[in-house]
Structure 1
């Protein structure tokens, strides 16, 4: 068992490195958000009654300026609003500021080791800011590299395909014009069907998963996005489920193959996406 090595240009190599780096940054960003949530649960659990999303601008600004309930108890509503105005243009307003003070006075959070908790939160916010800045920088570089690939713009023009998902596919697969068919891309990702058998034992036919795992992930997530946002893929999915009586996951996996064939065809023939070629042959039953 062997496969020929397909040399790729520098643009595709850059995408592979950038997207691998992005995965690491996203994990760090998610970890910092989870730890900030844990900090709020311990020190000021009532905080979420005012700010539902911890990573929102208002919540992060409040945690920077006056994180602990003891600080909020000694302040007035207009002082909190004044502090918000120093870091953001739009703020929660006097009503929420007063609500924050009332909740702080009756908080059940930890009252001990306040200085230690404040230092811990500062470090978590620094990690959050660093990961967020790095993520924005990497995604900006990814966008600039995609502009250098001729067929990338035609793929991004398809409703449901984002720049990040396309960069993930191209970074792992390389130049799609080098693939003979969409099925070759599926085999490269490990999404082709294979029989799980051994000796005299014969098993079921399943997805082999012998290929690039990151490419599998981006093909699958891109297909889910197309089913939600692209009218053609949504129509095919409904046709598969309602008319052909397929299970939803089987329909999604079938559409992954269609997406692979569309991407390879666009790269090889330099054609634009044609909606008429994608729609099912038989219309949906009324």
Structure 2
């Protein structure tokens, strides 16, 4: 077996070639450009060797390795993606006090050559690139949602300063009239001094529907408001609303594309009540090829939802949290969907109530349901069967 260790950089990478059995370095660590010519130069260094006997390793970090990774996979080379923590630990165990790109290529080869039962790397396949765009879209959805929450929280802070009674006048926040009034006036002081006919124009939802609040009631509430007429807060409100509306448009655009991908995937996990096009696509994209996992516990561990075990001598911790050592996006999706899954599926509902009856807290009971859901997902994906709640009884 021949091992190729590649250390990734922005403008150039470095690599070395080592024979595993003899530990002989066939090609000393050397740099090559992050370009097509550089990639071809890399291949020319070991093109005389049997391709089936070559294992190429690189750290699974950043995005600078994507072009090289696809280049190698398209040519059917076997590529291992290594956890950067494993590389760092290997260097420290060897007593290394220096770190540079060339030395890292040898450390990567050492990780590949390790005989540990649990490997510190995973073999990647071309099929994973089919899910790359889906992963980027679902992660962007998560990121935009977080931004949206941040901006809406800041908006509420500003509203509490300029018109603290404003929210109580509406049955729900962020509707058409709600946002139009904030954009146009921004404070209780501006509404109180606005012409009533101008106010009425902003009560049109554009859908032929009317809200229970009237312009006269709003104006009266504004007159009696304890809000502080801050020019700075009014400007912030208008800017925040513009950002919120833009993010909502971006999320809608992304969700349309995600739904198209989901329909193309036609995954059996969509047959689970409570899993939408977005959540199903997110789970599939984050897990990748299900055949990379040999048992459900592996995807539970990958999601970071496995319970933490702590034992020392005669002590065993009875109450521990989940590990949270895994894919945060997958874990976030799972905890977002577990509530509707419990709500719409009697079997999961019964299991949740059982854990509550056993003295578990709400979040702990949800964790048990998440792990049960992961086992169901693993079965559906590995067998290609549709969800059947009768089989969970």
Normalised to the residue count of structure 1, the TM-score between the two structures is 0.82
Q: Distance in 2 between matches of 1:97 and 1:63?
A: 14
8 Å Cα contact 2:176-2:205 kept in structure 1: no
Q: Distance in 2 between matches of 1:195 and 1:77?
A: 65
Could you tell me how far 1:126 is from its partner in structure 2? 1.1
Query: Which one has more relative contact order, counting CA pairs under 8 Å at least 6 apart?
Result: 1
Say yes or no: does 1:102 pair with 2:215: no
CA 1:277–1:61 in 2, change beyond 3 Å: closer, same or farther? same
Moved more, 78-87 or 43-52: 78-87
8 Å Cα contact 2:138-2:281 kept in structure 1: yes
Partner of 1:183: 297
Q: Distance in 2 between matches of 1:81 and 1:127?
A: 25
What is the count of residue pairs matched by the alignment?
Answer: 271
Could you tell me how far 1:165 is from its partner in structure 2? 2.2
CA 1:254–1:37 in 2, change beyond 3 Å: closer, same or farther? closer
Of residues 137, 146, 149, the one that matches 2:253 is 137
CA 1:184–1:129 in 2, change beyond 3 Å: closer, same or farther? same
- Partner secondary structure for residue 272 of structure 1: coil
Of residues 121, 146, 149, the one that matches 1:30 is 149
CA 1:133–1:223 in 2, change beyond 3 Å: closer, same or farther? same
Could you tell me how far 1:117 is from its partner in structure 2? 3.9
8 Å Cα contact 2:186-2:238 kept in structure 1: no
Q: Distance in 1 between matches of 2:392 and 2:340?
A: 16
Q: Distance in 2 between matches of 1:91 and 1:64?
A: 19
- Partner secondary structure for residue 5 of structure 1: strand
CA 1:28–1:266 in 2, change beyond 3 Å: closer, same or farther? same
Map 1:52-91 onto structure 2 (within 5 A).
52-75=171-194, 77-85=196-204, 89-91=208-210
Partner of 2:123: 5
Could you tell me how far 1:76 is from its partner in structure 2? 5.0
Structure 1: which 5+ residue stretches go unaligned?
A: 280-286
- Partner secondary structure for residue 195 of structure 1: coil
RMSD: 2.6
CA 1:130–1:180 in 2, change beyond 3 Å: closer, same or farther? same
8 Å Cα contact 1:15-1:167 kept in structure 2: yes
CA 1:197–1:125 in 2, change beyond 3 Å: closer, same or farther? same
Q: Distance in 2 between matches of 1:274 and 1:226?
A: 14
CA 1:39–1:156 in 2, change beyond 3 Å: closer, same or farther? same
Partner of 1:231: 346
Partner of 1:146: 262
Could you tell me how far 1:101 is from its partner in structure 2? 0.6
Map 1:222-261 onto structure 2 (within 5 A).
222-242=337-357, 245=358, 247-248=360-361, 249-261=363-375
- 1:122-144 CA deviation, whole Å, 9 max, x = no partner? 21111111111111111122111
- Partner secondary structure for residue 4 of structure 1: strand
CA 1:101–1:271 in 2, change beyond 3 Å: closer, same or farther? same
8 Å Cα contact 2:300-2:371 kept in structure 1: yes
CA 1:32–1:91 in 2, change beyond 3 Å: closer, same or farther? farther
Q: Distance in 2 between matches of 1:103 and 1:273?
A: 53
Higher strand share: 2
Q: Distance in 1 between matches of 2:223 and 2:369?
A: 55
8 Å Cα contact 1:176-1:263 kept in structure 2: no
- 1:17-42 CA deviation, whole Å, 9 max, x = no partner? 11221222112211211121112111
Partner of 2:273: 159
Q: Distance in 1 between matches of 2:205 and 2:177?
A: 12
Q: Distance in 1 between matches of 2:381 and 2:182?
A: 48
